[in-house]
Amino acid sequence: MTENEPIIESTAREIPTEKRLYRSTTDRAVAGVAGGLGEYFGFDPGIARVAWLAASILTLGIALLVYALAAKIIPQEPPEYAAIKIAPQGNLWPRLKGNPVVLWGGLLLLIGVVLLVNNLGLLPWRIDALWRGVTSVAAPALLIGLGVYLVLVFLGRAPDLRQVARTGGDLRRKGADLPLRRSRSDRQLAGVCGGIAAYFAIDSLVVRMAWVVLTVLTGGVPGLLLYAAAVFFVPVAGDR
């Protein structure tokens, strides 16, 4: 360096060396909370995700509020921390994603345990009460709709089924204007959960597990009807 050469001063961003709790950017399914907890405490983050799902069922969704609060409070890890951290070796979540038999077997096991705990009266709420609540609305609504249709048939004012079919086709074409698409590549049935996951930038396994559990806990009717409606109205990615 010559005597007249200017000295350029710069500041380097401090790289944290101590272990800190952050939301993970490299191992995340929703907001990186479970991944961050697994990295901080040194356990498989997949265990935390499954435990959080079970807690959400047992507390009827209160654990989801805790997750949202944690996602708000815990900061996201900075890039320099992500580059030097030592992440635990976890294989539960990849195994669930890559092996449908393990996934559905685990879900059936979880649902069976919840039903058993419910039958033993150990849950703070009752599954059968949820089922009664759904059927108390769905069954009367179905009977009312059928009754109205039969009365209209008797009066000669029932809607033309061909016109109804054409209207359904128009609604399906209008579904192409929706931003949501069913996934072509990430699918177990029709790609609905994969499309929702892609739209909200979360892990599709979280969407599938939540959909299955909520469908079972609500007696099956709402989840199946919503899925069928999504298959009918939401186009597949790439379709015009």
pLDDT in tens, 155-167: 777 666 666 556 5
Least Cα distance to 24 among 106, 99, 93 occurs for 93
pLDDT digit string, tens, across residues 13-62: 454 556 788 898 888 888 889 888 888 888 888 888 888 888 887 777 78
- Alpha carbon distance 235, 101 (integer Å): 28
Per-residue pLDDT, averaged over 61-80, amounts to 87
17 CA to centre of own chain? 34
- Alpha carbon distance 79, 24 (integer Å): 10
CA angle at 37 for the pair 34 and 40, rounded to the nearest 5°: 150
Q: Are 125 and 59 in contact (CB under 8 A)?
A: no
User: What pTM, to 2 d.p., does this model score?
Assistant: 0.66
**Would you say residue 168 has pLDDT above 60?**
no
pLDDT digit string, tens, across residues 178-203: 788 888 888 888 888 888 888 888 88
Structure confidence at residue 69 as a pLDDT band (50, 70, 90):
very high
Q: Are 87 and 37 in contact (CB under 8 A)?
A: no
| Backbone dihedral angles phi then psi of residue 32, each to the nearest 5 degrees | 85, 10
- Which position has the higher pLDDT, 152 or 116? 116
Q: Distance of CA 65 to CAs 32, 52, 62, 68, 98, Å?
A: 15, 11, 5, 5, 29
